[in-house]
């Protein structure tokens, strides 16, 4: 069969999965700042930090600039917003835990959720290239007062800031998609999973556990997550290595995984 | 073609886990066994050693110490999956016939293991053009007693020939050159970030005008008691949609001009 015909057949096969289903919905207005939804948690175990970068400075723009940080609770509701001035050419580490403990006052809502960082100006070159400035940077977690922190980068272009508020930009899927984490979960570790809904509507996601010994399904649980909302829970431990899959009508339901062994913690995108 | 390096870092062994199952259910992937290959550049050619065959749905963990009998000293091992046999040696990096996905791409767990701790990230490596370059900003330095910071510069190219280029490290505010050293193609280059006098408010900028790579930042406490690992994305990831690579070119041109090794 000619290569062109092969390619045509392949394209037609995946059309139900790609037609009008982008990974990130394009904002209608040029200059809309976009951010990932970064996971925050407030308890005795963790301290949370974020590395603010002056993106204007990186593009050669020297005027003063700010970011807006917006906090959402686990149901996706806004409970705190603050503008922060960026330094030019410096590293600027934001202590999220301190901001929640001392900056929010009584408005703090719950023990975990997400936050977004919006850069309030867009360099001219970015507009000229029809692109959107996006914060997908680096959050870090200190576990049980460890001297070092663990980093993970942003993964979704999840949310945009517009005049009327904050719009989820995650792509929804017509059909149920399965995201198979290419990761081997070990019986020696404990794990927690974070799933965030970057879509406009409530999403039902199932987490399926499969044995890596014989391929059998071990467990399946179903959860509903509000738009901009967060699911954070312990993964059940098993006596054999396993992998997990996430199924739902989201273009890519990629989780954050926390892995624990004794006093050590690691964090990564699955 | 996707390759998975086995990393190296002080006080650690590299450990890479490769998976023979698709990361999603909708991009076409054949559910077949695949061959597991070890590839490394040595004496001007690529050497491709068949290690194993992995059944569909399974995975395989490889550690540097498992491969010492197969590897010359000071080469970086790259692991790959292939549906077909590869030539034992080749003048170009084999374009392996594999299941290919985009959302996401096939990934492996690229890890480092010490006596006390383990850290990893999900990643893959496709060969860089020999005409590409590197620009990365490094807000990852950690400070405290017995904490060390490194950058692992990981490069892979089609040609097995050893290329040497200059890596330059600057302070983003002063645009002053802090360090300059050689890095090698097809290799995990390990560079300390602690010997330039950076403090917690400084933002290092790392440039290589003649070689692209994946920059991976590694911090270690007490010679391996605790480990931290994360890679940066290319400058194109500061924006989405539109002409991202036009934006990336702009950033590289700007910073390459601003930062000059005098």
Determine, for residues B23 and A179 on separate chains, whether the beta-carbon distance falls below 8 Å. Answer: yes
Residues forming beta bridges with residue A49, ordered by sequence position: A95, A140
pLDDT at A157: 66
**Minimal CA separation from B207 to chain A, in Å:** 14
Q: Is the ipTM of this complex over 0.90?
A: yes
Phi, psi at A269, each rounded to 5°: -85, 130
Task: Provide the residue count of chain B.
Answer: 262
Whether A69 contacts A98, CB under 8 Å: no
pLDDT at A21: 82
d(CA A224, CA B221): 40
**Minimal CA separation from B66 to chain A, in Å:** 19
Cβ-based neighbour number of residue B101 at 10 Å? 17
Sorted by sequence, the CB contacts under 8 Å of residue B225 that are 6+ apart come out as B114, B116, B117
Model pLDDT for residues B177-196, shown as the tens digit of each residue: 999 999 999 999 999 999 99
Among A57, A106, A107, which residue's Cα sits nearest to residue A79?
A107
pTM listed for this prediction = 0.94
**Minimal CA separation from B248 to chain A, in Å:** 10
Model pLDDT for residues A3-33, shown as the tens digit of each residue: 788 778 877 878 888 888 887 878 888 889 9
Check whether A2 has a pLDDT greater than 80.
Answer: no
Q: Which of A21-25, A200-204, A223-227, A246-250 shows the lowest mean pLDDT across its residues?
A: A21-25
Confidence of residue A1 (pLDDT cuts 50, 70, 90): low
Determine, for residues A93 and B244 on separate chains, whether the beta-carbon distance falls below 8 Å. Answer: no
Q: Which helix (H) or strand (E) holds B154?
A: strand B147-154
Q: Please compute the mean of the pLDDT values over residues A96-123 and round it to a whole number.
A: 91
Residue indicated by tokens 């993970």: A152
Model pLDDT for residues A49-85, shown as the tens digit of each residue: 999 999 999 999 999 999 999 999 999 999 999 999 9
Q: Please compute the mean of the pLDDT values over residues A94-121 and round it to a whole number.
A: 92
Q: Which residues of B touch A139 (CB under 8 A)?
A: none
pLDDT at A171: 82
d(CA B222, CA A102): 33
Determine, for residues B246 and A129 on separate chains, whether the beta-carbon distance falls below 8 Å. Answer: yes
Q: Which residues of B touch A215 (CB under 8 A)?
A: 57
Check whether A156 has a pLDDT greater than 80.
Answer: no
Sorted by sequence, the CB contacts under 8 Å of residue B91 that are 6+ apart come out as B45, B46, B159, B160
> A71: phi > 0 → left, psi -120 to 50 → alpha, else beta; which?
beta
Confidence of residue A142 (pLDDT cuts 50, 70, 90): very high
Q: Is B73 exposed, middle or buried (0-12, 13-18, 19+ CB in 10 A)?
A: exposed
d(CA A23, CA A10): 20
Q: Which residues of B touch A90 (CB under 8 A)?
A: 172-173, 201-203
DSSP string of A197-255? --SSS-EEEEEEEEETTT--EEEEEEEEE-TT-EEEEEPPP-SS-EEEEEEEEES--PP
Model pLDDT for residues B47-99, shown as the tens digit of each residue: 999 999 999 999 999 999 899 888 998 899 999 999 999 999 999 999 887 77
Model pLDDT for residues A163-213, shown as the tens digit of each residue: 999 999 888 888 899 999 999 999 999 999 999 999 999 999 999 999 999
pLDDT at B79: 96
Residue indicated by tokens 């992995």: B54
Q: Please compute the mean of the pLDDT values over residues A87-110 and round it to a whole number.
A: 90
Among A243, A162, A171, A260, which residue's Cα sits nearest to residue A208?
A243
Tokens at A228, concatenated: 């901009």
Beta strands at A34-35 and A132-135: parallel, antiparallel or unpaired: parallel
Q: Please compute the mean of the pLDDT values over residues A218-235 and round it to a whole number.
A: 96
d(CA A44, CA B107): 33
**Minimal CA separation from B26 to chain A, in Å:** 7
Cβ-based neighbour number of residue B220 at 10 Å? 26
For chain A, the helix, strand and coil percentages under 3-state DSSP, each to the nearest 5: 15, 45, 40
DSSP string of B69-120? TTS-TT---EEEEESS---SEESS---------STT---EEEEEE-SS-EEE
pLDDT at A9: 80
Q: Which residues of B touch A130 (CB under 8 A)?
A: 241-243
Q: Which residues of chain B, if any, have pLDDT below 70?
A: none
Determine, for residues A177 and B137 on separate chains, whether the beta-carbon distance falls below 8 Å. Answer: no
d(CA A29, CA A122): 12
């Amino acid at each position: 069969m000619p290569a062109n015909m092969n390619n045509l057949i392949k394209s037609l096969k995946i059309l139900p999965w790609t037609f009008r289903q982008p990974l990130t919905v394009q904002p209608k207005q040029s200059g809309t700042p976009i951010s990932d939804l970064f996971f925050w948690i407030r308890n005795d175990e963790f301290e949370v930090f974020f590395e603010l970068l002056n993106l204007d400075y990186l593009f050669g723009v020297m005027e003063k600039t700010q970011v807006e940080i917006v906090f959402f609770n686990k149901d996706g509701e806004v409970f705190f917003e603050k503008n922060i001035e960026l330094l030019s050419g410096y590293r600027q580490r934001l202590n999220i835990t301190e901001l929640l403990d001392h900056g929010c006052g009584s408005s703090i809502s719950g023990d975990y959720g997400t936050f977004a960082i919006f850069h309030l100006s867009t360099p001219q070159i970015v507009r000229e290239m029809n692109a959107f400035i996006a914060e997908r940077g680096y959050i870090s977690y200190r576990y049980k007062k460890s001297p070092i922190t663990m980093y993970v980068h942003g993964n979704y272009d999840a949310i945009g800031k517009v005049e009327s508020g904050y719009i989820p930009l995650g792509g929804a899927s017509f059909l149920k998609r399965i995201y198979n984490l290419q990761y081997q979960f070990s019986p020696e570790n404990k794990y927690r999973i974070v799933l965030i809904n970057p879509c406009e509507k409530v999403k039902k996601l199932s987490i399926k556990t499969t044995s890596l010994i014989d391929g059998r399904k071990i467990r399946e649980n179903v959860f509903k997550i509000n738009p901009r909302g967060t699911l954070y829970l312990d993964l059940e431990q098993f006596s054999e290595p396993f992998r997990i899959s996430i199924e739902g009508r989201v273009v890519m339901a990629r989780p954050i995984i926390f892995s624990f062994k004794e006093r050590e913690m690691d964090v990564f995108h699955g | 073609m996707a390759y998975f390096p086995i990393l190296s870092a002080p006080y650690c062994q590299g450990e890479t886990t490769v998976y023979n199952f698709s990361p999603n259910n909708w991009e076409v992937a054949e559910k077949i066994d695949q061959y597991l290959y070890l590839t490394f550049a040595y004496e001007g050619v690529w050497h491709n050693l068949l290690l194993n065959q992995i059944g569909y749905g399974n995975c395989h963990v490889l550690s540097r110490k498992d491969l010492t009998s197969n590897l010359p000293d000071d080469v970086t091992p790259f692991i790959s999956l292939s549906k077909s046999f590869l030539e034992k040696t080749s003048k170009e990096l084999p374009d392996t016939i594999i299941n290919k996905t985009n959302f996401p791409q096939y990934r492996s767990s690229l890890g480092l293991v010490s006596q006390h701790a383990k850290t990893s990230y999900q990643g893959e490596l496709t060969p860089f053009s020999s005409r590409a370059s590197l620009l990365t900003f490094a807000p990852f330095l950690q400070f405290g007693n017995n904490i060390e910071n490194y950058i692992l510069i990981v490069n892979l190219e089609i040609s097995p020939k050893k290329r040497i280029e200059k890596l330059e490290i600057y302070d983003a505010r002063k645009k002053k050159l802090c360090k300059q050293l050689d890095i090698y193609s097809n290799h995990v280059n390990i560079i300390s970030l602690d010997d330039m006098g950076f403090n917690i408010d400084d933002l290092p900028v790392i440039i290589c005008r003649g070689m692209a790579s994946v920059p991976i930042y590694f911090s270690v406490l007490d010679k391996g008691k605790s480990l931290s690992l994360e890679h940066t994305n290319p400058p194109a990831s500061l924006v989405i949609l539109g002409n991202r690579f036009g934006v990336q070119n702009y950033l590289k041109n700007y910073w390459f001009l601003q930062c000059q090794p005098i």
